[in-house]
Each structure stands twice: as C-alpha cells, then as structure tokens.
Amino acid sequence: MRQTIKTGFIVLVVAALTMTGFALAQEGTDDTAESPTATIDFADRIREQLQGLVDEGVLDSGQADAVAETFAEFQQERQAARQERFEQKQANRQAVLDLLGLTREELHEAFQNDQSLADVAGEQTGDVIALIVSQMQDKIASAVENGRLTQEEADEKLATLEADVTEKVNTPPSEREGNGHHGPGGRRGPGGGPGFGGPGFGGPPAEDAATTSA
C-alpha cells in the first residue's frame, strides 16, 4: 500500500513539476558524471515549485508537502546509489594504478604523451586486461541485479567485453573514438566501464574533476 501511494506521489510530482517548469537534473544510464552532485535540500526546492499549484488550488498544502517529501526521498536514494557507483569506480581505477605501481599523475602524463595503457603496462598488460575485465564483469552483474540492465543486454556486453577491453588498452589516446582519452561511446570504457584517460584514471585528479563534471 505504501509503495502504491509512493508511486502515485512520484507520478503526481513529475506532472506538477512539468507544469511549473521545474528542471530536473538528469543522469545518464551509466553514471556519466565522475562524481555525485552536491547534497541539495530537494524537499524545499520542490515545495517552492509546487507553491504555485497550491495557490491555484490544484494541490492543498498538505499534498504539496507530501509530494515534496516523497520525491526528495526518492531523489536521495538515487543520489546514494550514484555515490556508491562513484566510489566503486574510483576503487577500480586505483586498483589498476596499484597494479602498475603508478600515481594518477604519472599515468596522466603517459596519456598526454600519447602512450596507450599497454605501452605503460608493458609485460603487465595481460594482468591489466584481466583486472579490468573482472571489474567490468562485476559492474555488469551489479547492473543486472539493480535492474539497470536486462540479462540479454548484459550477455551482449559480456560477449565482447574482453575484446573491447583489449582493444582499448592497446589503443593510444590519439586514436580513440572522438580523439579523446575515453572508451567506446565517449567518456566510458567497455560496457559503461572506466575510461582509460578520464578523471582519476590517467586524467586530471578526481578532486579536480568533481568541480567540473556535474
């Protein structure tokens, strides 16, 4: 019953915010930002936007409060999940750096000199590929568990995952798609995984990226 009420409130708030022109921040399907947005008092912001509907008699004050609180809870749950994905991404990147015995700045310098990750890894290239493939397998499995991917979509990604990772590890930045330090599809690696030159992974330090990405 509570879930039904919550779903009804979410539908109502989306309709209400559309009517009042409230702009909702949209996130990509695979956590495109490098760090989560700053904590915002969503309830207060939404309640302010709903005041016009209260003034017009579309909602009463109690309904507006309930809608704002429910949507804020929903948004905070999404933000917590995004934070978790961000922290896991940083941990994955650090694992690669630890394997290579490098700092982010050192790997970034190598990418700036148009070296591929394989150029940097040398004899450890196979280990790097195996590590990234394992990380992406875990990420894809988590996405299926959380409903962000269907099993069919996951199987499609897994079928080419090792080949995709191997290609990107061996490709210098200047030859990557979009001529950037990224994996397939832009800023991300195979299956929505870590890019090989983005913030915190050969690119600028993550703390710098956090101020420019959201």
pLDDT top residue among 153 and 59: 153
First to last CA, the chain: 36
- 83-119 pLDDT per residue, tens: 888 888 899 999 999 999 999 999 999 999 999 999 9
pLDDT of residue 55: 87
pLDDT of residue 43: 77
Name the residue ranges covered by the structural domains of the chain. 2-82, 83-209
Closest CA to 149 of 19, 31, 4: 31
Task: Quote the mean pLDDT of the chain.
Answer: 73
Cα separation, 141 vs 166, whole angstroms: 20
Q: Are strands 188-189 and 193-194 parallel, antiparallel or unpaired?
A: antiparallel
Region 149-159: mean pLDDT is 95
35-44, 122-131, 136-145, 193-202: range with lowest mean pLDDT = 193-202
Cα separation, 107 vs 185, whole angstroms: 22
Question: Dihedral sign, CA of 196, 36, 74, 56?
Answer: negative
pLDDT band at 46 (very low <50, low <70, confident <90, very high): confident
pLDDT of residue 101: 95
Residue 193 is classified by DSSP as E
